[in-house]
Structure 1
Amino acid sequence: MPGRTTTWNVRLDIFEEDEDSTAVRAVLDTGDNELVIRTTARRNPHDRPVPEIGDEYAAGRALLELGQRLLDAGATDADDNAHR
């Protein structure tokens, strides 16, 4: 029997809220569900403004949060499955 293959899509919408903060809206679409995360990165006032750095921090935080939520969902689903 061949293995199952699925494709999940992640979309990151990155936008500057102002010159000191960058926000990301991350959407994970599994085909059956969507998981939406919103994170923000703020520039240290002593640092030069470099938008790419804010993008990296905000996107990284969003991806970490998506990962944690997926792990939490997997643990909940495994627990539910064990009690059936």
Structure 2
Amino acid sequence: MSHTTEWKTHLYLFEEDRTTKARVELDTGTTKLTGHGTARCNPADADVPEIGDELAAARAMQDLGAQLKRLAFSDMGDAGTRPRAGAPWATPSD
């Protein structure tokens, strides 16, 4: 069975007072999820906005990934199946 779909994402970055916040939005067509991440520049470090952008974006995407994994596990349960114990992508915290 062949299947092709497109999911749309938007990443927004906001910087103020040496703090960068990121919001990443995912729209699958049936579900919308939003991940959040923050990066703070140490006062002793040089302010390099690109580093804050990268860290905040990575954290927002990690948050989104965790939400997506929880959703997949919930959908698996609804379908009458569970993640295989010991699978590398199925951690005890999931």
| 2:30 paired with 1:51 | no
Counterpart in the other structure of 1:3: 2
Where in structure 2 are the equivalents of 1:1-84 lying within 5 Å? Answer: 3-16=2-15, 18-82=16-80
Q: Indicate if the aligned counterparts of 1:9 and 1:29 stay in contact, CA closer than 8 A.
A: yes
Give 1:40 shift: 1.2
Residues of 2 paired with 1:46 and 1:81: CA distance?
52
Q: Distance in 2 between matches of 1:38 and 1:67?
A: 11
Structure number with the higher strand fraction is 1
Identify unmatched segments of 5+ residues in structure 1.
none
Q: Which has the higher helix share?
A: 1
**TM-score with structure 1 length normalisation?**
0.89
Percent of aligned positions that are identical: 43
TM-score by length of 2: 0.80
Q: CA RMSD in A?
A: 1.3
Q: Does the CA contact (< 8 Å) of 1:19 and 1:49 recur in 2?
A: no
Distance (whole Å) between structure 1 residues aligned to residue 6 and residue 31 of structure 2: 12
**Which stretches of structure 1, 4 residues or more, deviate above 6 A after TM superposition?**
none
Unaligned 5+ segments in structure 2 are 82-94
